[in-house]
Amino acid sequence: MKFVSFFCLLAALTVAAANAQVDFTGEWAPLYHEDGPERGPGPELGDYTEFPINDAARMRADSYDADRISVVQEYQCRPHGADYALRGLGQLRIWRDIDPATQRTTAFHLHFLAWDSERTIYLDDRPHPPDYALHTFQGFSTAVWEGNMLTVTTTNLKANYLRRNGLPRSDKAILTEHWTKHGDYLTITTVIEDPVFLTEPLVRSDNWYIDPGQHIGIFGCEYAAEVPKPEGAVPHHLPGANTNLREFANWYGLPFEATRGGAETLYPEYRSKITPYNPPAKCTRYCNCTSLFNCNVDSR
Amino acid sequence: MKTLPALLLAASLYAQSGQNVAGTEVHVLPVQGNVFMLLGAGGNTTLQAGKDGALVVDTQFAELAPKIVAEIRKLTERPIIWMVNTHVHPDHTGGNEALSKPYGPGPGQTPRIIAHENVLNRMTQTGPNQPEIPAGMWPNDEYGTAQKDIFFNGEAVVIYHMPRAHTDGDSIVFFRKSDVVSTGDIFTPGTWPVIDLARGGSVQGTIDALNAILKLTVPARYQDGGTLVIPGHGRLCDESDVVEYRDMLTIVRDRVQDLIRKGMTLEQVKEARPARDYETEYTGVPGRWTRDQFIEAVFKSLSEARK
């Protein structure tokens, strides 16, 4: 009898190890120590650093006029896509579905503060819809366990942005996420492959800590005509006419070409190719930005 | 004589009739309400099915008719009562006759084929170098007003004429209860807009038509879904997708207009590649429509409007 009990215990432990399911449920508060200025106040115009973009993406961003998201009503309530939602105002609630017969997790559900966006990640082996089906801002996500890490694959995304200064992400992109939990911390590493705008995968990471007392308010969004505009107007800059593109390089004393993005600029070897870097004598912009709420331009 | 190449081009736009479509698979996508989307070798077909029968928007190619009907029969045994042609091109009208005779209301009766009167005019008045189009493929219920309404399968179906857009005979079809818009080739996500100047199309008319579509669409929560949009070619869409396409065409129009104002010739405009930031996202129709033809159509359309 002792032998049987031992065998059952061993079997149960083995199954648990094989399934290696981690419970990500809870209220998660975002940490903005990575890329704080971009995620809080918003990115600088013309800052394409860190992105392996192609010429098409660069030109698309150069022609972008931020008036578009206020003047064009259809943009006013447009949410972050599944990829950017992890970076934006990311107060996050996660809950899960459990199959009562197997006690296995069959889905995680995510709710974000920004635009009240919700997303489901399926773990029940269902297939992805065909490409000709409707695409959505959150896309269609399935996941598998790789040890204690949850690997999520998202397809059927709508066009959105890589960065909120006009850098585009297409509806052909595939988003891969790797979820890991370390005690009270959650890290999601994202890999975006976009054959339309990226020449290499874009890898980023975002972090949260558990915050049981967090209350996510209602975001709400209702679009309205607040700025008079001609019928059908789409604000944009004509090629060569955007006078804001050099601001970022000038503020931080960077070589302009280094701010233009592209795979080559991501690697250390690129330093030897650019003109000598002369940092400004004194930091005047985003000098002490560690969270969403202290990202003041003159924070020094 | 200068117009001959344009006429030949227009005749060949999407004109794959007679091609080998034997291996083509027809995919059916339930959209919402009574409406389905059928993807095959030509333009997308929209089906509205119910107790009153079937309403078919655009009929692809004659060769595909048996496969299209086989899919329709899985959804309804009722006959095809109405057909709508969103415009004249054969990848949207090629199956008119093939679907009408065997699958219509009954012996001696054919479905009513609705189209704007300019579609009928284009079909009946083909040029000297264009093949005649059999009478059985012609619309038999043409309209010449801004819109035409019918009530079918428990919902209002509103057909709006979009003047001088993809062609001069474009219609969009709005299924009001199902909340679905079928746009024809005014909206073809992922493909450079085909502006058929030889058949009365224009860039401004296409932009106006896209903005008219956006007035019909209302997104649901999270800005997804709500009013769904079946494009002339390509995947099922909603308002956000139409916005992306409208923005592209508006921005390219503005850029070409700016280059025209600067005195550039057509060749100089093409060389400037005013749509180069869209070149990795949009493609042509192989052998029939290219980026340069799109730019040329925008240039000529704007130049004509300035006269």
Q: What is the CATH number of the domain that holds A202?
A: 2.40.128
> What domain range includes position B124?
3-240
Helices (H), ranges, A134-234: none
Report the C-alpha gap between A169 and A173 in whole angstroms. Answer: 7
Three-state secondary structure readout of chain B: CCHHHHHHHHHHCCCCCCCCCCCCCCEEEEEECCEEEEECCCCCEEEEEECCEEEEECCCCHHHHHHHHHHHHHHCCCCEEEEECCCCCHHHHCCHHHHHHHHCCECCECCEEEEEHHHHHHHHCCCCCCCCCCHHHCCCEEECCCEEEEEECCEEEEEEEECCCCCCCEEEEEECCCCEEECHHHCCCCECCCCCHHHCCCHHHHHHHHHHHHHHCCCCHHHCCCCEEECCCCCCEEHHHHHHHHHHHHHHHHHHHHHHHCCCCHHHHHHHCCCHHHCCCCECECCCECHHHHHHHHHHHHHHHHC
CATH number of the domain that residue B179 is part of: 3.60.15.10
Residues of chain A with pLDDT under 50: 1, 3-4, 7-8, 10-11, 13-18, 299-300
Q: Would you state the pLDDT for residue B151?
A: 98
Q: Which of A117, A118, A196 sits opposite B280 (nearest CB)?
A: A196
Q: In chain A, positions 15-34, which contact chain B (CB-CB < 8 Å)?
A: none
Report yes or no: A115 and A80 within 8 Å, Cβ to Cβ: yes
Query: Which span out of A30-34, B19-23, B272-276 was modeled with the highest average pLDDT?
Result: B272-276
Report the C-alpha gap between A107 and A109 in whole angstroms. Answer: 7
Residue A82, domain member (yes or no): yes
Whether residues A77 and B281 touch (CB distance < 8 A) is answered with no
For residue B8, pLDDT over 60 is answered with no
Residue B32, domain member (yes or no): yes
Q: Which of B214, B222, B255 sits opposite A137 (nearest CB)?
A: B222
Residue B293, domain member (yes or no): no
Residue B204, domain member (yes or no): yes
Residue B73, domain member (yes or no): yes
Q: Which of A206-210, A265-269, B1-5, B220-224 has the lowest mean pLDDT?
A: B1-5
Compute the C-alpha angle B273/B165/B128, nearest 5°.
95
**Is A78's Cβ below 8 Å from some Cβ in B?**
yes
Report yes or no: A103 and A119 within 8 Å, Cβ to Cβ: no
Nearest to B170 by CA among B186, B156, B154: B186
As to burial, measured by CB atoms within 10 angstroms (0-12 exposed, 13-18 middle, 19+ buried), residue B267 is: exposed
Report yes or no: B250 and A232 within 8 Å, Cβ to Cβ: yes
Report the C-alpha gap between A58 and A51 in whole angstroms. Answer: 10
Q: Which of B39, B207, B238 sits opposite A134 (nearest CB)?
A: B238
DSSP-derived 3-state class of residue A82 = helix
pLDDT tens for each residue of B23-82: 899 999 999 999 999 999 889 999 999 999 999 999 999 999 999 999 999 999 999 999
Per the structure, the count of domains in chain A is 1
Q: Average pLDDT for residues B85-101, to the nearest whole number? A: 94
Nearest to A58 by CA among A168, A170, A202: A168
Report the C-alpha gap between B282 and B252 in whole angstroms. Answer: 13
Q: Which of B39, B219, B280 sits opposite A197 (nearest CB)?
A: B280
pLDDT tens for each residue of B101-145: 777 777 778 899 999 999 999 999 987 888 889 999 999 999 999
Size of the A and B interface in Cβ pairs below 8 Å: 99
Q: Identify all chain A residues contacting B243, using CB atoms and an 8 Å cutoff.
A: 72, 74-75
Chain B closest-CA separation from residue A288 CA (Å)? 34
| B79: its two tokens | 């006959």
Whether residues A239 and B274 touch (CB distance < 8 A) is answered with yes
Q: Would you state the pLDDT for residue B16?
A: 42
Which residue in A has a C-alpha nearest to residue B236's C-alpha? A134
Residue B259, domain member (yes or no): no
Q: Would you state the pLDDT for residue A5?
A: 55
Residue B123: phi and psi, rounded to 5, are -75, -35
Report the C-alpha gap between B220 and A72 in whole angstroms. Answer: 18
Q: Identify all chain B residues contacting A136, using CB atoms and an 8 Å cutoff.
A: 222, 224-225
Residue A69, domain member (yes or no): yes
Residue A186, domain member (yes or no): yes
Whether residues A234 and B277 touch (CB distance < 8 A) is answered with no
Q: Which residues contact A6 (CB under 8 A, 6 or more apart)?
A: none
Q: Which of A132, A197, A233 sits opposite B236 (nearest CB)?
A: A132
Per the structure, the count of domains in chain B is 1
Residue A225, domain member (yes or no): no
For residue B4, pLDDT over 60 is answered with no
| A271: its two tokens | 């330093």
pLDDT band at B22 (very low <50, low <70, confident <90, very high): confident
Residue A109, domain member (yes or no): yes
Helices (H), ranges, chain A: 2-19, 36-39, 55-62, 68-71, 73-76, 82-85, 247-252
Which residue in B has a C-alpha nearest to residue A195's C-alpha? B280
Whether residues A231 and B29 touch (CB distance < 8 A) is answered with no
Residue A74, domain member (yes or no): yes
Q: Classify residue A214 by its DSSP letter.
A: -
Residue B31, domain member (yes or no): yes
Residue B307, domain member (yes or no): no
**Is A72's Cβ below 8 Å from some Cβ in B?**
yes
Residue A174, domain member (yes or no): yes
Which residue in A has a C-alpha nearest to residue B218's C-alpha? A74
Residue B266, domain member (yes or no): no
Q: Would you state the pLDDT for residue A21?
A: 84
Q: Would you state the pLDDT for residue A14?
A: 47
Residue A71, domain member (yes or no): yes
Residue A186: phi and psi, rounded to 5, are -120, 130
Chain B closest-CA separation from residue A31 CA (Å)? 24
Distances (CA, A) of A279 to A44, A270, A283, B173: 18, 17, 9, 60
Q: Which of A59, A195, A234 sits opposite B276 (nearest CB)?
A: A59
pLDDT band at B164 (very low <50, low <70, confident <90, very high): very high
> What domain range includes position A69?
26-41+63-210
Chain A closest-CA separation from residue B213 CA (Å)? 12
DSSP-derived 3-state class of residue A73 = helix
